[in-house]
Amino acid sequence: MADKYSADTIITETQKRISNAFDVFDHESNKTVDVREIGTIIRSLGCFPSEADLHDIIAELEEEEPTGFVRYEKFLPTMTKILLERKFRPITEDLLLQAFEVLDQQKKGHLEPEELTKYLTQEGEPFTQEEMDEMLSAAVDPDKNVILYKDFFH
Amino acid sequence: MGCGTSIAVENQTHPSETDGSIRQPSPALTIKAAILIQRWYRRYVAHLEMRRRYTWNIFQSIEYAGEQDQLQLSSFFSFMLDNFTHMNGNGPDLISHLLDSVVDPLTEEVRQLKYEQIVVPESYCGPRLSFPLSVTDTNALLSAFKEEQTLHGKYVLQLLYETKKFLKQMPNIIYLSTSYAKEITICGDLHGRLDDLLLIFYKNGLPSAENPYIFNGDFVDRGKKSTEIIIILFAFLLLYPDHMHLNRGNHEDHIMNLRYGFTREVMQKYKTHGREMLQLLQDVFSLLPLATVIDNKVLIVHGGISDKIDLDFLSTVERHKVKSALRLPKRSVDHLNVHANIRSSSRQSGRSRLDSPCSSGRTSRASRRRKKHITKQGSCSSSSSSSSSSSSVCSPRVSSRNTSRRPPPSPSLPSPTDVLQVPFLDSFVSLEPPEPPRDELERQQVVDILWSDPKNQSGCSPNSFRGGGCYFGPDVTQALLQKHGLCLLIRSHECKQEGYELCHNGQVITIFSASNYYEEGSNRGAYVKLGPELVPRFFQYQVSRSTRKLTLHQRVCVAEGSALRALKEKLYAHRSDLMAAFQQYDIDNTGRISTSEWAQVVESVLRLDLPWRTLRPRLARLGADGNVEYESCFEDISPGEPIPPVTPNLAETLYRYRTDLEIIFNIIDKDHSGQISIEEFRQTWKLFSSHLGVAVNDQTIDDMARSIDFNKDGSIDFNEFLEAFRVVHKLVIKEQQQG
């Protein structure tokens, strides 16, 4: 029996993970996915790319004449590389907490919905209204109507 | 965590901008923080989206797999019918009433009189309909159903009868025009969800001359209020014959109804008249029009099309002859007597799908293509009776839509186990004249219309996922639309997350009107409106039980939990086959195998095309060495307390076929008492198990039957019996206990 930790096995296992994730979005079972789902697939495999990062990746993956679809043959090597090189590492809870603290300029220990909305829809890689609404619906404490960000972390 | 540390850590990503000023982080830092949160959040949402997507895949796979199981039930019915004389003289009455087009012995006048004479007790405070119907009647019905009242059987019978008379005059294809109305509203599958229908009426108004509607099939099955839905729809149909239109769906089929709940619902709500209602419904369903065309430009059918569809031909089809997409032998008592001496037993129908390699002994029996004759003595028989049709739901199917992992089994000669050793009349089906080609083509058209699905690949291929109809590509759509000068195809049949979906370059619209179809929060429902410019406008909605809006995370969790429970039940139901296959990989008996091996086994045994590797963490545990502890996937489920003493294998089989058995028992139980005789039970079970190829000896059956008969009066409460074969999800119980 092969050594389960050999490099080959790791690559194969990685590729199988990629294949599985790809298949979830391959509605026609013809080894293509809609280019708009690429971000979701990459992120669901554990990566935290920014929108700019995704832009670059998609540019690489698209056909010479963009069809709106990405083929698995192109996706697999690109994604394998990303995973093996551990690009777009996860954001640790520490870092995330600090990010919230930075935004909490008055050091209140919580954020007002308007504050968070202002930052996330105007700064960085802005949220759409839908993304903002969805995040608020999950993040806002219904009684106090503020975002108790410290509670997100252990 | 102080700010000093904060800035020092931020150095990882960019040079520090400030010297620790607490009050005013620099704009650059703010931007960095925002991006961080955005990146994190988008990843979180993608993760949820992945879960939502595979949850959806799970539900859909199980749903379609269930529809394929329908084949088994119908082939069992054929089997039972072939052997009915063994059933203690209960004989032809057992199932034939389901299969025969019963020639109505009563004349119209007599039947009408009969219904009029049904006495409705004074104590009944529901709606009392009077024909011809008026707006008062439809309003009364709507109010009553909102109050959870039931319409008295008399009125249901009268309504069904009037509807049947009305539909007889209708053509197969109805041509409509938008010129007389502002807009026509088209709704998709409702599947017994009364709340959705009421919501549509609330948002969009009731049907009327100014507000015409088309309901595109699948009114019944699955949901609990199918009866109420068809009562409302038929009432409006009679009230506004020019402004209310119903297309037939694949669930407007009495055999489908046996499995998917409508038959049961009718029998439970209408103990006295239920059977007669179902008889009428057989006819009513088969008389529903097949298609609607608006302004000679928009074609509306329930399922879809194929490369064989021709609207001119379709309009000449005798649609009422296709009672069910599942083809079953036509028979009557006469045939029986006449052909009593014929020895050959060939089966016209009862085609079945390819079997998994692991189903005990079924393979040889079920994999035969029934072109050959199977005789008891091996002697040849007379005329051929079967004709195959790729679009019939009964045709042998390729194992999955993905790849054919196994080549189709070649027609095999009958093995000795295929033939039951019972002294009874052989089937007379072989004497049936072969279906003339025209009948065959007609049936094919109807099944294609009701069962097909659009696909993005070109061409037209048999719909292996469903077991009936076709997959049709954009080229097929284009060709048909062009041939008839149409510009748009509207269809339903598939659940869509947003309630609707466009494909084939906008030439095909799928519209689905049952929200929360799989689970609370799983999908929206929608309807589409078309005005004279024929530009579709979509309206979405979602029925919600809770007043507080659930977050995305909560909705995903609820739906996912439900999907995973369904999946675990499937695992449980195939435990022995799975364990046998697992152990083949586990040569050293460690209790563990690799993830790949685990995924492979599960996929081949359950035959569900799902992302098993992605699902693995939710279904099975990993050992310390990173391999899967395969027995852990059965841990969460335990059987309830089975009343009869049965071996685990038998319990598993009984669990797997619970639904089928329930249906069969309900049919045998003619007086709906919930009881069948021990003899009936024995016979049914014996036939069923030999049909499945499950080896159960007589003694076991007898013991089982006797132990179920508690009061020793010779009859069995089959509901109690079936209750015993439920499973229990331990985690759910724990959650409930923890409150």
Is the confidence at residue B617, as pLDDT, over 70? yes
Q: Between these two residues, B478 and B399, which has the higher pLDDT value?
A: B478
Query: Percent of chain B beyond pLDDT 70?
Result: 67
The DSSP annotation for B208-258 comes to BTTB-EEE-S--SSSSS-HHHHHHHHHHHHHH-TTTEEE---TTSSHHHHH
Query: What value does the mean pLDDT take over residues B546-568?
Result: 79
Residues in chain B: 739
**Percent residues over pLDDT 70 in chain A:** 96
B18 by Cβ neighbours in 10 Å (0-12 / 13-18 / 19+) ranks as middle
- Chains A, B: CB contacts within 8 A come to 137
Contact A29 B34 (CB under 8 A): no
A34 in B contact zone (CB under 8 Å): no
Helix H or strand E encompassing A22: helix A7-25
CB B453 within 8 A of CB B471: yes
Distance in angstroms (rounded) separating the CA atoms of residues B301 and B713: 52
Q: How confident is the model at residue B23 (pLDDT cuts 50, 70, 90)?
A: low
Q: Check residues B289 and B408 and name the one with the higher pLDDT.
A: B289
Task: Supply angle C-alpha B116, B122, B123, rounded to 5.
Answer: 125
Answer yes or no: is pLDDT of B180 > 50: yes
Identify whether the C-beta of residue A17 lies closer than 8 Å to the C-beta of residue B389. no
Q: Is the pLDDT of residue B386 over 70?
A: no
Higher pLDDT, residue B442 or B396: B442
Nearest CA in chain B to A127: B38
Task: Chain B: give the shortest CA distance to residue A145, in Å.
Answer: 15
Taking the CA atoms of residue B701, residue B674, residue B69 and residue B196 in that order, the dihedral angle to the nearest 10 degrees is -160
Q: What is the pLDDT of residue B338?
A: 35
Distance separating alpha carbons of residues B243 and B204, to the nearest angstrom: 15
Q: Which of B126-140, B569-583, B657-671 shows the lowest mean pLDDT across its residues? A: B657-671
Helix ranges, B574-695 (H): 575-585, 595-606, 612-619, 648-656, 658-668, 678-692
CA distance B653 to B694: 8
Measured between beta carbons, the chain B residues lying within 8 angstroms of A103 are 30, 33-34, 37
Contact B614 A48 (CB under 8 A): no
Q: Rounded to 10 degrees, what is the CA torsion of B224, B227, B229, B232?
A: -150
CA distance B297 to B488: 7
| B460-481 mean pLDDT | 86
Q: What are phi and psi of B141, to 5 degrees?
A: -65, -45
Residue B24 binned pLDDT confidence (cut-offs 50, 70, 90) = low
Confidence (pLDDT) at B556: 82
List, as one string, the DSSP characters of B403-416. --SSPPPPP-PPPG
> Quick check: B456 pLDDT over 60?
yes
Contact B667, B83 (CB under 8 A): no
8 A C-beta contact, residue B132 and residue B161: no
H or E element that contains B135: helix B135-146
Pick B46's closest partner by Cβ from A44, A51, A102.
Answer: A44
Q: Quote the pLDDT of residue B91.
A: 39
pLDDT recorded at residue B715: 79
Average the pLDDT over each of A132-146, B89-103, B220-234, B469-483 and give the range with the smallest value. Answer: B89-103
pLDDT confidence of residue A7: 74
Quick count: other Cβ atoms within 10 Å of Cβ B405? 13
A3 pLDDT higher than 70 = no
* Residue B276: per-residue pLDDT: 85
Among A37-46, B384-393, B634-643, whose mean pLDDT is lowest? B384-393
State what percent of residues in chain B have pLDDT above 90. 34
Model confidence at B450: pLDDT above 70 = yes
Most confident of A106-110, B31-35, B484-488: B484-488
On the CB side of B392, CA atoms within 13 Å amount to 26
Q: Do A24 and B50 touch (CB under 8 A)?
A: yes
In this predicted structure, which of A51-60, B422-431, B492-501, B649-658 has the lowest mean pLDDT? B422-431
Q: What is the DSSP letter of B189?
A: B
Please give the backbone phi and psi of residue B538, each rounded to the nearest 5 degrees, phi first. Answer: -105, 140
Nearest to B29 among A94, A96, A102 (CB): A102
Question: ipTM value of the model?
Answer: 0.91
Chain A interface includes B1 (CB < 8 A):
yes
Task: Answer yes or no: is pLDDT of B337 > 90.
Answer: no
* Cα B127 from Cα B562, distance rounded (Å): 38
Q: Does A117 touch chain B (CB under 8 A)?
A: no
B405 contacts chain A (CB < 8 A): no
CA distance A7 to A29: 30
Order of strands, sheet of B470-472, starting from the edge strand that comes earlier in the sequence: B453-454, B470-472, B460-462
Nearest-angstrom CA–CA distance, A23 and A76: 12
pLDDT recorded at residue A108: 87
Nearest to B595 by CA among B629, B544, B569: B629
Mean of pLDDT values over B641-668 = 68
Q: Which residues contact B464 (CB under 8 A, 6 or more apart)?
A: B397, B398, B399, B400, B401
Q: Are residues B552 and A134, on separate chains, in Cβ contact within 8 Å?
A: yes
**β-strands B453-454, B470-472 pairing:** parallel
Q: How many residues does chain A have?
A: 154
Confidence of residue B254 (pLDDT cuts 50, 70, 90): confident
Number of H helices and E strands in chain B, helices first, is 26, 21
Return the number of other C-beta atoms located less than 10 Å from residue B24's C-beta: 10
E strand or H helix at B553 = helix B552-573
The answer to which of B243-247, B298-302, B452-456 has the lowest mean pLDDT is B452-456
> B43: which 2 tokens?
């990843």
pLDDT higher than threshold 90 for residue B402: no
For B68-82, how does the pLDDT look when each residue is reduced to its tens digit (9 = 90+)?
666 566 566 666 655
State whether A21 and B35 contact (CB < 8 Å). Answer: no
Quick check: A72 contacting B, CB < 8 Å?
no
A141 touches chain B (CB under 8 A): no
Residue B736 contacts by C-beta under 8 Å, 6 or more apart in sequence? Answer: none
Is B118:B155 a contact under the CB 8 Å cutoff?
no
Active-site residue, B251 included: yes
- Residue B37 and residue A13: Cβ atoms within 8 Å? no
DSSP single-letter state for residue B45? H
CA distance B32 to B39: 10
Contact A24 B32 (CB under 8 A): no
pLDDT band at B430 (very low <50, low <70, confident <90, very high): very low
Choice among A128-142, B542-556, B573-587 with the minimum mean pLDDT: B542-556
More confident of the two residues B457 and B385: B457
Tell whether the model's pLDDT for residue B407 goes beyond 60.
no
Q: Which pLDDT score is estimated for B584? A: 92
Task: Check pLDDT > 50 for residue B341.
Answer: no
pLDDT above 70 (res B652): yes
pLDDT of residue B717: 76
At B580 the pLDDT is 92
Q: Which of B399, B390, B396, B402 lies closest to B357 in space, CA to CA?
A: B399
Q: Find chain B residues with C-beta within 8 A of A89's C-beta.
A: none
Residue of chain A with shortest Cα separation from B52:
A24
Cβ separation of A21 and B614 shorter than 8 Å? Answer: yes
Partners of A29 on chain B (C-beta within 8 Å) are 401-402, 609
Q: Which of A91-95, B151-155, B286-290, B429-433 has the lowest mean pLDDT?
A: B429-433
Q: For residue B34, what is the DSSP state?
A: H
At residue B673, the pLDDT reads: 66
What is the per-residue DSSP string for B156-185?
A: HHHHHHHHHHHHHTS-SEEEE-STTSS-EE
Q: Do the Cβ atoms of B369 and B392 come closer than 8 Å?
A: no
- Of residues B52 and B539, more confidence is placed in B539
- In this predicted structure, what is the pLDDT of residue B732? 61
User: Of B615, B472, B544, whose CA–CA distance to B58 is shortest?
Assistant: B615
Most trustworthy range by pLDDT among B98-107, B337-346, B618-627: B618-627
Is the confidence at residue A154, as pLDDT, over 70? Answer: no
Rounded to an integer, what distance in angstroms lies between the CA atom of residue B137 and that of residue B732? 45
pLDDT of residue B644: 57
d(CA B17, CA B189): 60
Model confidence at B461: pLDDT above 70: yes
Q: At what angle do helices B262-269 and B658-668 cross, to 10 degrees?
A: 40
Q: How confident is the model at residue B396 (pLDDT cuts 50, 70, 90)?
A: very low
Bridge partners for A30 per DSSP:
none
pLDDT on residue B655: 75
Instruction: Output B420 or A14, whichever has higher pLDDT.
Output: A14
The encoded tokens of residue B625 equal 């060495």
- Across the interface, whether the CB atoms of B30 and A123 are under 8 A apart is answered yes
Q: For residue B296, is it left (φ>0), alpha (ψ between -120 and 50) or beta?
A: left
Strand partners of residue B527: B187, B539
State which H helix or E strand residue B108 sits in: helix B108-116
Mean of the pLDDT values across residues B339-362? Answer: 30
The DSSP secondary structure of B531-542, one letter per residue, reads -TT---EEEEE-
Q: Does residue B443 surpass a pLDDT of 70?
A: yes
pLDDT for residue B70? 60
Q: Grade residue B214 by pLDDT with cuts at 50, 70 and 90.
A: very high
Q: Which residue in chain B is spatially nearest to A46 when comparing CA positions?
A: B43
- B672-696: average pLDDT: 72
Burial (CB < 10 A; 0-12, 13-18, 19+), residue B515, is buried
Q: What is the pLDDT of residue A74?
A: 92
Q: Torsion over CA of B409, B415, B418 and B420, rounded to 10 degrees?
A: 180
Secondary element (H or E) of residue B622: strand B621-622
Q: Residue B468's pLDDT is what?
A: 72
> Average pLDDT for residues B230-242, to the nearest whole number?
97
Inform me whether the pLDDT recorded for A39 exceeds 60: yes
- A131/B45 touch (CB, cutoff 8 Å), yes or no: yes
Q: How high does pLDDT run on average in chain B?
A: 75
Cα A150–Cα A154–Cα B6 angle in degrees, nearest 5: 55
Contact with chain A for residue B474, Cβ under 8 A: no
Could you tell me if A28 lies within 8 Å of chain B, comparing CB atoms? yes
Whether B721 has a pLDDT exceeding 80, the answer reads: no
The per-residue pLDDT for B172 is 96
A132 touches chain B (CB under 8 A): no
Report, as an integer, the average pLDDT of B707-732: 69
- Asked if B257 and B290 touch (Cβ cutoff 8 Å), the reply is no
Give the integer Cα–Cα distance in Å for A138 and B555: 11
Round to whole Å and give the CA distance between B597 and B590.
14
Lowest mean pLDDT segment, chosen from A140-154, B78-92, B286-300: B78-92
Out of B152, B251, B373, B574, the active site residue is: B251
Task: State how far Cα B548 lies from the chain centre.
Answer: 31
Cα B291 from Cα B298, distance rounded (Å): 10
Query: B95: pLDDT confidence band, cut at 50, 70 and 90?
Result: low
